Amino acid sequence: MRPKSALPVVIQVPNLLTYGRIVAAPLVAGCILWNTETARWVALGIFLAAAITDFFDGWLARAWQQQSALGRMLDPIADKLLVSGALLMLAAVGDIQGPHLWAAFIILIREVLVSGLREFLGELQVSVPVTWLAKWKTTIQLIALGFLIVGHAGKSVWAHIDTIGITGLWLAAALTLYTGFDYFRAGLRHVIGEDERS
């Protein structure tokens, strides 16, 4: 195990990776909106690099004892910017349309609700741990978005690439509903308990 870093929190490696993910969000969104084949492949490359940092920033923070309040604050923000930006731009260019917009809507709404719930529970100094199912949801969501981001540019490689992306998006949306309900139920217990103590 690496000894705790003497570097200032703002320039520790895990936080630098999180900053990179925040910067990646508008770059991915811009490339999707540009919508040329080259731009779509660039968007996929940036998105994959950002998704990989989502794993490594947390892992390195624990392994190197560099967990910080700054990292805990910025990590979910970076995730939501990356996913939300990609979903909105994919809808804007028509890669997600019709009934499939509901899958994107479910994912976006869940992110807003969970963020609000975590903010409330944070005031009560209550932490709701991330479940394994929620981690699977995130993994499937990122894979689905990867397929959708490359979109028409990837059809020369695999004709059914958009079908895989949309199917994964709906699977992620289904898991989103289930895990979102779990978060809400856990949060509601604390809300009711707080009201009863008041």
Distances in whole angstroms, Cα of residue 105 to Cα of each of 35, 58, 156: 22, 27, 29
Domains of the chain by residue range: 9-197
pLDDT tens, 65-93? 888 878 788 888 899 999 999 999 999 99
Pull the structure tokens for residue 170. 């709906």
pLDDT tens, 7-54? 677 788 888 899 999 999 999 999 999 999 999 999 999 999 999 988
Pull the structure tokens for residue 88. 């909105």
CA neighbor of 43 nearest in space, from 151, 190, 180: 151
Rounded CA separation 8/60 (Å)? 16
- What lies within 8 Å, CB to CB, of 145 at 6+ separation is 47, 83, 86, 87, 90, 165, 169
Q: What are the backbone angles phi and psi of residue 187, rounded to the nearest 5°?
A: -65, -40
What's the CATH code, domain 9-197? 1.20.120.1760
Q: Which amino acid is at 24?
A: A
CA neighbor of 107 nearest in space, from 155, 178, 160, 52: 178
Q: What is the pLDDT of residue 3?
A: 47
Per the prediction, the chain carries an average pLDDT of: 86
Stretch 99-109: mean pLDDT, rounded?
A: 96
